[in-house]
Structure 1
Amino acid sequence: MTKSNNSATLNLQYGGGFRMSSVIPVIRKFNRFYTNVLGLLDQHLLETDFSLSEARVLFEIGHTDRCTAKMLIDKLRLDAGYLSRILKRFEEQDLIYRIQSDEDRRLYYLRLTDRGRDALAKLDARSDDQIRLMIGHLPEQAQRNIAKNMAAIENALSDDPQIRQEVRIRCDLKPGDVGSLIHLHGWIYAKECGYNHVFESYVCQTFVDFFKHYSPDKDRFWFAEAGDEIVGAIAIVGHPDRRAQLRWFIVHPEYRGLGLGKRLLQESLQYSKEKGFRRVFLETTEDQKTAIAMYERAGFRKIAEHENHLWGVHHIEQTYELQLP
C-alpha cells in the first residue's frame, strides 16, 4: 500500500511536465530518509574508534595521490580547525605522517603509515559488510538500480569534472541496446528540436531496415556507457561501392562538453579507414549546429539538402560526405 501511494505521488508530480515546486518536496523527502541511513552508517563506524568524518579523511588520504590538507578541506568541505584536530590525532596515533614537497617546501603531503593502512582496510571491510546487510536481501536488479541512481545523483550534483568522465565505450551489440537508442533519440529530439512521435517511428524504421542486412563484418556500433546507462552512441553501416554511412550519432545532454562526441566520431572514422571504405556519408538536419561543426572539422562537406515537414516542425535535411584517403 505504501509503495503504491509513493508511485502515485511521483506520477502526479512529474506527469504534467517539469516544475521545480514538484521536485523540491521529493528531494526533501529523500534527504530525510537518507539522513537516517547515514545515521546507521555513522553509528556503525562509531563502534570503531572513528567518526564518519574521520573515516572519510582517512579514506581520502589513503586513496589520493599527493594529498594535502587543503585538498581535504575543499573536497570534504570540512572546517580547517576541525580537520587540523583530526590530523593531529591521526599523527599521535601513528596513522599518518607528513612529507615535504620537493617542488614547494611550504607544502606537505599526507600519507598513511602501515598502521594507518591497516586501519583503513578494516574500515573498508566493516563498511562493505554494512552495505551488504543493508541491501543484500534485495533482488539483484534492485541493487543495480540503487547503485545506478546513486551514481546519477553524484554525477548531477558534483562539481568534480572527473566524475562525469567515468564513461566506457563498447562495441558489442546487446539485447536492449537498440531500444535504448530509440528512446534516447525520441526524448532528446523532442526536448531540443520539438520533433514529434513520427520522428521516433522513423528511427524505429531505420533499425528495422538495418537489421535486414546487418553484418558484423561491415557494420559496427560504439556505445558509451555510464554505469548501466547508454549516454552516447554512433554506428557505421557498410554499403556497396566501398561507401559507409554514419548513423545514430547521439550524446546525452549531461555528457556533452567532455570530448565524448569527438571520441566516438574519431573511432568510427578510424574503423571506416581500416575497413577500406572510400567515402562516409551521413544525414542530419540544419538545426544540429554543434554536430555539423564537428563534421566539418573532420572534413565532411555538404552535398545535398531538402525540406522535411514530417516530424512536427519544418526543417531541412542535409547530407554530408567525407572522402577517405
Structure 2
Amino acid sequence: MEKLINKGQKYCYTSLLYTNEEKIGYIGSDGILEEQEYIFMIKEEENQFHIHWAAETKKDFFYGLEKSLKLIEKNNTNEKRIYIEFIPKEFIKDLEKLGFKINSHFCDFWLEDIKRIKVHRPLFGDIRLMKEEEYREVAAVTRSCKGLSRGFNGEKDIFAKEWIQNENSSIVVAESDNKIVGVCFMNVYGFEGDKGPVAWVREVAVHPNYQGKGIGYSLIYYGLNWGKERGAIRSFLAVDSINYNAIKLYEKIGYKKEDGSEEISMVKE
C-alpha cells in the first residue's frame, strides 16, 4: 500500500501528502479504488469510515467519491459517519450537496522566533511535565473539552501514553486541587530543516471548570521553553478558523496566521 500512497502524493489534489501506511493502518483490497485518474482508500474505524484520497481533477475526485460512497453504503450496517479531510475550498459546495458538512477548518499559525519571546514564570501555579503513569488523567482532560472546538472529541488513553514515547515529544500539565486540569501536547521536529527545529504545539486543553484562569497561556509558555531547551527556533500550531478564543490567545503570545495554508475536513452523518 505504501507504493499506492507514494503514487497518490503526486496527484494534483490529495490527502496523502502527510501520511504513510503505518499511520493509515491496514486496508484490504476491497477498500481500495484505483484508476489512472484517482485513488480512494476506505478505512473502517471504530466510529467512522475514513476516506483517504488523491485525484488529478475535481471531476475525478467526485467520480471516485461517488463510487466510494456506494461501496460504503453496502457495508455501513451500523450507520457510521463518513469522514474525509484535506478538502480544497472549491470542493465544499458540491460536497455539501451530497450531505457533507464542515467538521473542521484549520489554519496554520507560526511564531517565527522563539528567542524573542520572553518565557515568563507561569501565571498559573503548578505547571510541569506529565509523569508516565498519568496518561489516563491527561486523556480525560482532553475529552472533557469535547465539542468546545468544532469537530473535537478528545483523545483516547493510548494516544497520550504513546505520545511521550517519542524522545522529542512531551505533555505539559497544569495541576490544581491535586488533579490535572490542563494539558499541552508538544513536539520538536525539523532538526535538519533550513530554518531550524520547530516546536509544535499539537493540542491545548483545559477542563471547562478551570478555564479563564490563564492556564492555557501558562501551558504554552512552559511548552515553548521546553522546546527552546531542545533547540527549537520557531513554533507552529494549527487552530480551527472559528475557535476565536484560542486564536486570540495565540496571537497574544505572538503567533501569526500563515496565509493560504488551510486544512478542511468534512463529515457525512
TM-score range, shorter chain: 0.3 to 0.5
TM-score, scaled relative to structure 1: 0.37
Structure showing the higher strand proportion among its residues: 2
Normalised to the residue count of structure 2, the TM-score between the two structures is 0.44
Greater relative contact order (CA < 8 Å, ≥ 6 in sequence): 2
More helix by share: 1
